[in-house]
Structure formats: C-alpha cells, structure tokens
A and B are shown apart, each in its own frame.
Chain A
Amino acid sequence: MRFLLRRAMHTLLILVGASLVSFSLVNLAPGDFFDQMKVNPRISQGTLASLRSQYGLDRPLPVRYLQWVRSVINGQWGFSFAYNSPAGPILWSRSGKTLLLTGVATLLAWSLALPLGGWAGARPGSSIDWLTRGTVAVLLATPELVLALLLLLFAVRTGYFPAGGLTSSEYVPSGLWDQTKDITRHVFLPSICLAAGLLPLLLTHIRTAVSEAFESPYIEAARGHGIPFRRLLLRHVLPLAANPLISLFGLSLGMMISSSLLIEAVFSWPGLGQLMLEAIQQRDFYLVVDTAVLSTAFLIVGNLIADVLLYASDPRIRTE
C-alpha cells in the first residue's frame, strides 16, 4: 500500500514536471495561434490584439500556468483556440482512439516477440534464432515512415485495405458487427506498422534476457538434472528473465504512444498523436501542453504497471 502511494506521488510529480517543461517550451517557440490570421487581409491588427487579450495570451506565464492547473482540476484542461471549446472533451475522444490502436499493436508485437525471441534466446544458432535476427535486422533497417507509406500504397493500389482513417468515408455501416468489421479493417495496417517499429527492440531484449537466464548456474544445474527443455523454459528460465521483460513491457507501452504520433499522421488515424501534431502546427497552446502531459501520463501508467508487476514478481525488489 505504501508502495502504491509512493508511486502515485511520483506520478503526480512527473506530471507537474512535464507540464512545467511543456509550458515553458511552447512559450519559447516563436509565434502563437493568432499569427496565422495575419495572412488574412480581412483581419485588422486591432482585432488580433483584442483576441489575444480576450484569450489571456498577453498575461504573464506563471499566471497562465496557475489558471491552466485550475482548469485541469475542473476537468476542462484549458481552452483550444482552434476548436473554440474547452480542451477536455476533445482530448478524451482522441485518447480512446490512440489507446485502441496502440493496444492492438502492443498485443500484436508481444504475441509475436515472446515466442520468437524466447526460442531464439534458448537455442542460439538455431534456424529460429537466424530468423529472429534477420527480422530484427530488416525491420531495423526499414524506417517506420517508409513501411507505413509502402503499406498505404499497397492498400490503394490493390484495394484490399482502406487508405487510412478509422471508419469508411461512406455512411456508418449499421449494426455493431459491421462497425467492428469496418474498424478492424482500418486498424490492421497502422497497427502492423506500429508493431513492426517495436519488434526489433522486443526481440533483441527478449532474446538477450532469455539467453542470459540460460547461462545462470541454477539453470545449468537444472539442465544437468535432466529437466525437459520445454519445462525448463517455461518454469525456470522465463521467471528468471521476467525482470527485464517486465520493465521492457512498461517501456514498450510508452514507446508505442510516441511512435503512434507519426503513424497516426500517415494513416489519418484520429488519435492523440494527430491531435498533437495539429496543435503544434497551429500553436494551439493549451492543447499542446495537454497532449504532452497526457502522453506523459500514458507512459507513466505503463511504467506503473511494470513496477507493480515487478514488485509482485521479484521479492528482492520488495525488500528495498
């Protein structure tokens, strides 16, 4: 319980830190949302100045920060200039979609990486090991962006998959089943891309962790006792390799969120990443800060999950 409480405090601390950093950095970046209106010859400078003061952009930074904190507590999360509405509702609908995509991708990546990497680590030099290393090398050498664009082109030229988006541009298909089918078709390519980006890291680390575990003296001993290979792998090696893998799991959650930024943009996936990119491009001040803090929050939750699991699985950490 004390452990959880302490972790919660940390989380809060990091979020405050991230929000402070975001706030001052966005402020350093030149220009604000209203700069783009200057190109419109129909808007006078006076109108712009009054807009700025109306939205409080002319107030000192600390004041704005405190106001923002207050509105986060209210659940409004500041104000989006571009959408002319409180940022909160915008954020929630987008986060859901990002979680859907990253969830599917994480599942895909781990269900591929665990058996492949585990086997490769257990039997270095085997054909599976070669396959694993080959996959890692190829995926490493293929930039995610290129992979995403290739898949997209493939989708368009063959017509097997939709060219991005979350649902069809036609009207909503009726019925839950049709909707699920539609979304599944759309989620397929972007999640493959995301998973492919994560796979090299997962495969290398799982392989390393498992092969290191195999080197440890008690596995040697167990092997000497004639315990069958599969039982050895599942009952003895995996628990030993679990520690780094659990940290890796938390890490992978966070990585997913940050790499989904790019993939979402390519596939027009209406998630948090695309929202952030848009907000950054338009200097939608509070929305940038919100999306930054929110993605930090997702990452920390990932780590929290990893820590709790680690805490539960490894008594050595508990003693600290």
Chain B
Amino acid sequence: MRSRAEIAVCLPILLGPFSLIAGTSELPLTAQPSSSVCTSISSTEEFLSVKGEIGQCGGRLIISKRSEPKTLNPLTAIDNISRDVIGLMTADLIHVNRDSQQPEAALAKSWTVSPDGRKYILRLRHGLRFSDGYPFDADDVVFTFQSYLDERTHAPQRDLLMISGKPIAVKKIDAYSVSFTLAQPYAAAERLFDSIAILPRHLLQRLYEAGQLMNIWGLNTPPTQIAGLGPFRLKEYTPGQRIIFERNPYYWKSDAKRQRLPYLDGIAAVFVTNNDAEALRFESGETDVISRLSVANFAVLERDQQRRKFRLYDLGPGLEYSFLFFNLNDLSSDILPSLKEKQSWFRTVAFRQAVSSAIDRESIIRLVYRGRAYPLSVQVTPGNKLWMNRSIPPPVRSLPRARELLRQAHFSWGSGGSLHDAQGQRVQFSILVNTENVQRVQIATLIQQDLKELGMGVSLVSLESHTFLHHVFTSYEYETAIMTLVDPDPDPNTEINVLSSKGGTHVWHLKSNNTPSWQDEIDLLMQKQSITLNLGERKRIFDRVQDLLWQNMPAVFLISPDILVGAKNRVGNFHPVILGDYTLWNVEQLFIHKEPGAERGS
C-alpha cells in the first residue's frame, strides 16, 4: 500500500511538466479534417488499402459493454473489455486477420524470416503519424518492446515474448526497419506481434525511465496525453456511463477509392450491467451493435428483426469450450472429506470415459442452447477449421458402454442401482459451477440426472465466480467442476497453458508431482509443435495431442456454443467473425448507411 500511495502522488507531478513539453513542441499540427466529409490520402504516407464495400463517411456507432474498461493502458490491460477498447485506439506490427485467421501486414508493410526461423526483420510503413500528429518510426517499435519486456511493468504479455525463458532481442536497423531475434525457432512467430500495441515513445519515454509505465493511461488521463496508431482516439470518458472515441485523423488505412479510413466519426460505448440489459438496449434501438447474445435473448429478438430493422447472426461455434473436469491435483493432506478415495476413481481413465459416455450432450445442446451449440470430443472446436482433428469420432451417448467401462474398472452396483467402487464405497461426488452463468448451471443439472442413471450420486454446488475460481485455482477444494475457456487465437500455441502439465490453466491438474505417461507425451508434443516450422508436421503433432486427449480424457469436453451477434441494418460492412470481440474487428470499415429518415448523429 505504501508504494501505491507514493505513486499516486508522484504521477501528476510527473505528468504535469510533461504535458507542457508535449504541448509546446513544434508539432506539425495540420488542420483537422472536418467530419462527415471523406478525405483522400496523401502521397507521403504508405497507406494500407483494404478491400470491402466503399462506405459513406460520418455518423457515429453506439455499442454497449458489459462493464467499464478498467484501464486504457495496453501494457497492463487484462480483461477483455479493456483490451477491446484499447484495440480501437492502438495498432500492431503484424495483425492476425480475424476473418481469415492468418497473419497480415499492418504497421509493418512486410517481413522476412531467416532460414533457421530465429530472426525476423520487419519493414515499417513510411510517413505514419500517431493520433496526436507525432511521426512514427523504428524508435517507437524498439521502445514498445522494451516496455513490454520491462519487469517493472508487469505486462501480462511479457510471458508471451519470452521464448524458452529468454526475451526476444529487438534492434533498430534504420528508421524504418527493426530486427527481432528469438532464442529458439518458434512456430507461427508472426502471431506474437498481434495485439502488441505500438506505444508513442515521445509521450512515454520519461515514465519508462522512472519505472512508472504500469500507471500510465488510466481512465482519468486527459485525452491529449494518450496517443496511438488505431482508427480512433479517446474523446471523453464519463465514469459509470460511457466512453466516447473520435476518428483518428491520421489513420493509415484507406479504402479502394483512396479515401482515408475510418468512415465513422466516432464510437460511443455505453456501460450496461448484464447480458439481458444489453439485449434490451439493442432491442430498444439505443445501441447499433450487440456483440454477444445469449440463446434465449437471441430467440426473443429474432422475432423482432423485421420490425425493428436489425439483423441477428448465428456464426456457428467459436473457440469457446465448456468442460467437466475432475480434481486430479496431487494433494498432501485430505482437504475435503474422503477426497483421496474419490481421486482414485477420478484417476481411472475408464471412470472418466464412462462419465463421458453417460453424458447426453445432445440434450445439453437442445435444452440449454436450443440447438445452437456443437458437441465436443476434445477441446478443439469446429470453429478452429485448420487445427481440428477430424479423425476423432463425435461423442455418442451410450449407457451400456459406460456400464461396461465401469464394470471393467471393478465398480459394481448395489441394491437400488447405486454404484460402488471395489472397496464397496458408494460413488458420490459434487460438481462445482458458478452461479452467474445460467448455461453452466443448467448443464450441471442435466449431467446430474445423466449420471444418476449410472448409479452415481451427484450433488451440485453453485458458487459465485470469485469463490469458484478460488476453489479451483488456489485452494483445490472441489471434487469436480464445470468451466468454460475461450481461446484467443486458433493457433495451438495458445493451448500450451491448458494442455501441458506445467501450464497455468492446466486446471484439472495444477499441482502435479507425478504425471501419467500420456501426459508426459502431450507435454513433449506441445513443446515440439511450438518449435516446428513446417505446418504439415505441426498439424500431425497436434492431431496426435488430440488423439491422446480423446483416449485418456483428462477432462470431459462437452460443447462449444455458437457465437450470436446482431447489428442494425444501417451498419455497413458489418461482417462478424468467431474471433475476438466478434463484431468490431473491422471497425475502420464500418459505416452508417444514410437512408432517408435515418438519424444522422451530429
């Protein structure tokens, strides 16, 4: 606490004189383009021209967010909402196209890789400017990576930029080229650059030297002290209500008619407390786009589509998976009564397989998701078209098979049909779920009934989410639990943390002394795929990982829900995808159709 108090006092003092410097420096502050009129691009800037429908300039988009962003600092932002909002204001060197899921040139116009896959040279676009008009060059890039890698900053992405324990070495070659050297070859290394927001050195150098970067760009920071390379820049933040962005007049993308993007004059994000309230705002016409709908709300709004002039989209399964997992942690003391005995069931592969084949995934999909979900055998969802192992059969419910598996593992049934283990102990356990998520509670209720048919006594424990996470991640006081994880990217590298036994989200076995041999193999394979540069070879390795998961079933993967979004008809170029925040990935191209009678925000 003491250090915090000091920092808070220091910050205004540090920023005070700094804003003066920024204000008095001889910036080429060109006249700002007036809104609603498209500007054509200049020849001194190397623009990125994007495909898509030619839009109309002007207008504002209103979106909703389920909570406030916590910070505008790209270095420390963790929660999705902060990251989405920061994404509007910043840009990266190489960007993973959210539609094609492939890396594409962004601030770097091109790149080359050395034959050993360890050295990347990125060439930057010329003549670009930050949203405050200050020019961008290689120094900003070097500074950015320095900042992310600085231990004092505690940037969450720092771990990502450490390849086998060593930081990526970043060197300026000239004003518009930068080299990146990796300690080891790394598969799909281009993807590392995605979402590393390039920071303005001219604004932040001093703070970096003072070790204060983790405190920059809070929500109360004046907009003039924030600059980025994204399509929008901060205009105004009203605590508890909304945050407003305006067009970045220096943005570096153009449409096919050589008009400078973005089309929109601005974006307002209003803060709404929950999913239902968000749907309500959308229904009432107060917001233009809704990023994530629950199935029930989708069904209700669907009927209103014509009358209210909006359209809903079912994008199919995303990269989200729900799964039931057993507490496999190696625990020294018995933290829950008879957890040790129960763990001996949980550690039996046949037991887990029996549970999996007893679960009626079709009912889950029909009753909980109204058909808008997909059954899973392993964690790779059908949304991940490139990496899904199609040789793995879809899960089928079979009680006879479940009984057979249990019988082979020396379980038996007593009078009244209750299941007992070899020691004669009744098979009873609890499923932990978090109450906030209605779908997961419903899934658990169905599973409870499914397993009852096998003679297992299953009780439900629903806790609010922090307590839930504490039980799963910190105290390990649970028997089984249901959770949902979302992959940020289809690449298998993002799965290392979940699948390998040392990973931080290896939820079912976080505390491990000894691992089964198949887990050792998975660890090895995950490590191997991360340094394999050949795509076909990598795919074979990851297919093998999925086979191992399906055979040994460390967790019972259940379903992947469809991504459901919506937008008003007047939003042009709306092209939602299953990645990221689904709707705003091409925000610079979104525009408002000026139909007769439609309100023009001004």
Contacts and interface: CB of A to CB of B under 8 A. Distances in A.
Question: Do chains A and B make direct contact within the complex (CB under 8 angstroms)?
Answer: yes
Interface of A: 29-31, 35-45, 47, 50-51, 54-56, 59, 64, 67-68, 70-71, 74, 76, 78-79, 82-86, 89-90, 93-94, 97, 152-153, 155-156, 159, 162-171, 265-266, 268, 270-271, 274-275, 278, 281-283
B4 A55 contact: yes
A37 B76 CA distance: 12
A31 B469 contact: yes
Contact of A164 (B70, B79, B272, B505): B272
A61 to B, nearest CB: 12
Given A31-B474, A79-B4, A170-B601, A93 B270 contact: no
A40 B471 CA distance: 16
24 contacts: A30-B471, A31-B467, A31-B469, A35-B473, A39-B469, A43-B504, A47-B156, A50-B154, A51-B154, A59-B1, A85-B219, A86-B8, A89-B220, A152-B277, A155-B284, A164-B272, A167-B238, A171-B268, A265-B273, A266-B273, A270-B239, A275-B240, A278-B67, A281-B464
Given A30-B474, A41-B504, A268-B271, 18 more contacts: A29-B467, A30-B467, A30-B470, A41-B503, A42-B156, A54-B3, A55-B4, A67-B2, A79-B5, A83-B218, A84-B71, A152-B277, A163-B280, A163-B284, A163-B286, A169-B268, A170-B601, A265-B273
A284 B81 CA distance: 17
B303 interface: no
Contacts of A56: 1-4
A84 B76 contact: yes
A171 B235 CA distance: 11
A266 B274 CA distance: 9
Contacts of A171: 60, 244, 268, 601
A165 B268 contact: no
Interface of B: 1-5, 8, 60, 62, 64, 67, 70-71, 73, 76, 78-79, 154, 156-160, 214-215, 218-220, 238-242, 244, 268, 270-273, 277, 280-281, 283-287, 464-467, 469-471, 473-475, 485, 488, 494-498, 503-505, 601
Contacts of A278: 67
Contact of A170 (B62, B273, B475): B62
A97 B240 contact: yes
A68 B1 CA distance: 8
Contact of B280 (A71, A85, A156): A156
B3 to A, nearest CB: 7
Contact of A37 (B62, B78, B464): B78
Which among B67, B219, B240, B474 has the greatest number of chain A C-beta atoms within 10 A?
Answer: B240
Contacts of B280: 152-153, 156, 163-164
B83 to A, nearest CB: 10
Contacts of B160: 42
A196 B212 CA distance: 50
Contacts of A165: 241, 270, 272
B485 A39 contact: yes
Nearest to B498: A41
Contacts of A275: 240
B466 A41 contact: no
Contact of A156 (B157, B283, B496): B283
A168 B76 CA distance: 31
A60 B288 CA distance: 49
Contacts of B277: 152, 163-164, 266, 268
A38 B469 contact: yes
Contacts of A162: 284, 286
Given A38-B473, A83-B218, A84-B218, A47 B2 contact: no
Contacts of A37: 78, 156
A109 B169 CA distance: 67
Contact of A94 (B240, B283, B503): B240
A212 B70 CA distance: 54
A76 B8 contact: yes
